[in-house]
Amino acid sequence: MLQSRRIYLPPLSLIGPGSLQDLGEELKQLPYKRALFVTDKILVDIGVAQNVIDVFDTACLEYVLFDNVQPNPTVRNVNNGLKLLQENNCDVIITLGGGSPQDCGKAIGILATNGGEINEYDGINKSEKASLPIIAINTTAGTASEVTINYVITDVDRHIKMVMVDKNCLVSIAVNDPELMLGKPASLTAATGMDALTHAIESYVCNGAFHWSDALALEAIKLIASSLEEVVKNGGNLEARSKMAWGQFIAGQSFSNAGLGFVHSLAHQLGGMYDMPHGVANAILLPHVERFNIPACTHKLKKVARAMGVEVNNKNDLEGANAAIKAIEKLSKAVGIPCGLKELGVKEEDFELMSQHALEDVCTGGNPRSVTLEDAIAIYKAAM
């Protein structure tokens, strides 16, 4: 029997080549006076931020630049951005980048309207008021933070990533212009692309999956699996970039409304403990967690294999599920993801503490198979 659901999506999404310029027309019709422009120094240095500034100028929108967001944004980043916003009486936040500027902007927006400290919002729907309006311009095909009700902030002092799931952080306008993604480094493209694939697969097999999220997840898997290797090899391929933009966009919609699983729970700890890029952590862990999950979602993993282009018509469900694991590993290797955690400096002595934190992570409840502390440690060991 079908259940009633709440579906959370941005009120407006602009997607496709040239959609950044469409944003200029939208801004002209909006009442905002001054924006806090949240981005990172790399995007400023390589000129991508200037493309957005040109749109501001066209729309006669004043802005204040905050470009101190670091990868895996921290509590300090959020507090510094909030201070700048308040000092300049900004009435809208415009974010540019991948998941880091997007998540930082969401955190600033929540604090701007709700007050307090960001650690008070760790968990599910902890805020009472909607964020200050946010316009999110995405530059990577990965996190999909621009369309989700999730954001993640690192607490450096505690070496953990705080995961916020909050309908009040949903942005007002999401922009996915693949022209902004052209020429990105192969390593970044690979990591963010595998992050998007992880979103699609986890949301498909998770406990919260339903018919709408399933349809989105399978389509996202098809798009990503068929275009990621090409876009890593040829970063200037606009068609492949467009497919990846769509793939991560709909994968984000799927997991934002269905949930994720234990891949993310484990990956968050690697980010908090080692400042590891989130997409790399997800990519390394994904086949190991899904191998663990096989008994709980065998039939669905067979469908994952089919969506990745594997011929499974003559395979039973278990054979198909194992084929999915092999396909994930093959794609990960093809795009240059490190083979294991050991080469990234991860130490086994940290496994127990990270596993304890992972079991407390908000994503763990969505995993299709229950996980014990011993299971978590074993998965980390298998990923070494």
pLDDT digits (tens, 9 = 90+) for 287-317: 999 999 999 999 999 999 999 999 999 999 9
Q: What string of H, E and C letters represents the secondary structure of 321-365?
A: HHHHHHHHHHHHHHCCCCCCCHHHCCCHHHHHHHHHHHHHCCCHH
- CA–CA separation, 333 and 232 (whole Å): 12
Contacts of 168 (CB under 8 A, 6+ apart): 110, 114, 125, 127, 128, 129, 130, 131
- How much is the pLDDT for 2? 67
Q: How high is the pLDDT of residue 159?
A: 87
Model pLDDT, residue 4 = 85
DSSP 68: B
Q: For residue 40, give the DSSP letter.
A: B
The tokens describing 302, both together, are 């067979």
CATH 3.40.50.200 fits 12-180, yes or no: no
pLDDT at 101: 96
Q: Which fold has domain 183-382?
A: Dehydroquinate synthase-like, alpha domain (1.20.1090)
Residue ranges of the chain with pLDDT lower than 50?
none
Kindly report the pTM of this predicted structure.
0.94
Q: Checking DSSP bridges between strand 150-155 and strand 92-97, what pairing results, if any?
A: unpaired
CB-based contacts of 187, cutoff 8 Å, min separation 6: 336
**Where are the domains positioned within the chain?**
12-180, 183-382
pLDDT tens for 48-71 read 999 999 999 999 999 999 999 998
Q: What confidence score (pLDDT) does residue 1 get?
A: 53
To the nearest 5 percent, what fractions of the chain are helix, strand and coil? Answer: 60, 10, 30
> Where does the chain show beta strands of DSSP type E?
12-15, 34-38, 62-66, 92-97, 123-124, 134-138, 150-155, 160-165, 173-176
**Tokens matching residue 57:** 């100028």
For residue 75, give the H/E element and its range.
helix 75-87
Rounded to a whole number of angstroms, the distance between the first and last alpha carbons of the chain is 42
pLDDT of residue 80: 98
Q: In a 3-state reduction of DSSP, which class is residue 115?
A: coil
